[in-house]
């Protein structure tokens, strides 16, 4: 693969690594950066072209690193900045690209920004997060729900206001309507791009902008009792706002300050809304992740229909992509069965577009039963 090819991502195979459980170099039971370096020869033999790492930044680990307390630091659990620099160099020497997980929707509640914001109503960082007065009855400002269970609003007694968290209360959402917030995250992106990373997978990118009037979300008429409780409401006002596309265009502009970089968006939306994230004139994300294969009925007719609908919905000139598995979804071998797992992999690797694999799917890894007292995942603990 030509390292100077700006469209390398169109022909590459992406491979997601969950660092905690990929390669443990020091025997402490947790994967680390040196462990990833040791396995780069395996990845080159496998034939992948780009490695995407789930978060490795400093974090209290309330949500396994998706609660960041320092965007430009490496968590000691995974190693040091020197280890990271060595990983970038080793990956590039092996002909591999390296993609980082950018988590710009929210920080940890231990991030210095939030500690300042929480300190007083008139702190300069206060508007970096989303604060609202209580409803007339003293309760949350509106009916928005956390994806991890319960209200999406946490009450801060000293200031008498609520702050918004789409996920855990320890993950307060940033206010992306604030110009200073945008510029701060763009500087974070530049920090890592200068270190040589080849792009970003942007976490929950469709969440970044919320309704300016904080209107109540409508009820979901199709909700079923066996589904997660946050699905009782449609996220009409808390996600996928029109203004988010301006933000994504700005992010794309930051990556284009550097040569041959890629911007990938995590987006769980219906096809007709997903394709909008390519942006006007394709100035949005080069790859808004297409997760259709993760949840479709596994039958030839259903898969054929998904492929046809997706290709038809793509804007002119947009490049398709397909995802077979990730850290948020059951293993493909458990979902479709071990006999069908190779068929799924063959489908992924022969469809038009860029494929993304989750580590271990290439050897048919399956789900493992976890005893209730061993559960650590925050969603599973809150919504068993």
Specify the 3-state DSSP secondary structure of 350: helix
Whole-number Å distance between alpha carbons of 8 and 11: 6
Q: Tokens for 186, please give them.
A: 């763009």
Among this protein's residues, is 116 annotated catalytic? no
The residues with which 265 forms a beta bridge, in sequence order, are 202, 288
- C-alpha count within 13 angstroms, C-beta hemisphere, residue 291: 18
- Annotated active-site residue in 203, 240, 266, 361: 203
User: Are the C-beta atoms of residues 96 and 42 closer than 8 Å to each other?
Assistant: no
Among this protein's residues, is 231 annotated catalytic? no
- Annotated active-site residue in 257, 259, 309, 380: 257
**φ, ψ for residue 331, nearest 5 deg:** -60, 140
Whole-number Å distance between alpha carbons of 276 and 317: 13
User: Are the C-beta atoms of residues 201 and 102 closer than 8 Å to each other?
Assistant: yes
Taking alpha carbons only, the member of 123, 36, 13 closest to residue 348 is 13
Taking alpha carbons only, the member of 86, 107, 101 closest to residue 36 is 86
Q: Return the number of other C-beta atoms located less than 10 Å from residue 49's C-beta.
A: 18
User: Are the C-beta atoms of residues 163 and 219 closer than 8 Å to each other?
Assistant: no
Which residues are annotated as catalytic?
Answer: 203, 257
């Amino acid at each position: 693969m030509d390292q100077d090819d700006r469209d390398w991502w169109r022909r590459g195979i992406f491979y997601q690594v969950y660092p905690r459980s990929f390669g443990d170099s020091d025997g402490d039971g947790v994967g680390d950066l040196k462990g990833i370096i040791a396995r780069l020869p395996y990845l080159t033999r496998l034939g992948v072209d780009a490695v995407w790492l789930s978060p490795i930044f400093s974090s209290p680990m309330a949500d396994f690193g998706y609660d960041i307390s320092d965007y430009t630091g490496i968590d000691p659990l995974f190693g040091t900045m020197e280890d990271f620099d060595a990983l970038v160099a080793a990956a590039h020497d092996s002909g591999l690209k390296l993609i980082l997980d950018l988590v710009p929707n929210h920080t940890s509640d231990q991030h210095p920004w939030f500690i300042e914001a929480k300190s007083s109503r008139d702190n300069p960082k206060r508007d970096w997060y989303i604060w609202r007065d209580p409803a007339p009855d003293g309760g949350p400002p509106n009916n928005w729900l956390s994806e991890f269970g319960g209200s999406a609003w946490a009450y801060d007694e000293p200031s008498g206001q609520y702050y918004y968290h789409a996920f855990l209360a320890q993950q307060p959402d940033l206010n992306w309507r604030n110009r200073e917030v945008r510029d701060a995250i763009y500087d974070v992106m530049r920090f890592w791009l200068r270190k040589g990373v080849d792009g970003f997978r942007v976490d929950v990118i469709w969440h970044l902008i919320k309704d300016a009037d904080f209107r109540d979300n409508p009820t979901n008429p199709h909700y079923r009792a066996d589904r997660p409780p946050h699905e009782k409401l449609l996220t009409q006002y808390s996600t996928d706002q029109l203004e988010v596309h301006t933000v994504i265009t700005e992010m794309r502009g930051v990556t284009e300050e550097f040569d041959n970089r890629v911007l990938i968006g995590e987006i769980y939306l219906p096809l007709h809304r997903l394709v909008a994230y390519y942006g006007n004139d394709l100035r949005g994300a080069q790859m808004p992740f297409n997760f259709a294969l993760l949840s479709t009925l596994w039958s030839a007719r259903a898969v054929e229909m998904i492929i046809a609908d997706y290709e038809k919905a793509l804007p002119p000139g947009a490049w398709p992509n397909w995802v077979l598995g990730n850290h948020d979804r059951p293993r493909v071998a458990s979902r479709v069965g071990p006999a069908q797992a190779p068929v799924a992999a063959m489908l992924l690797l022969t469809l038009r577009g860029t494929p993304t694999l989750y580590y271990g799917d290439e050897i048919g890894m399956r789900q493992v039963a976890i005893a209730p007292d061993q559960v650590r995942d925050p969603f599973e603990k809150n919504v068993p």
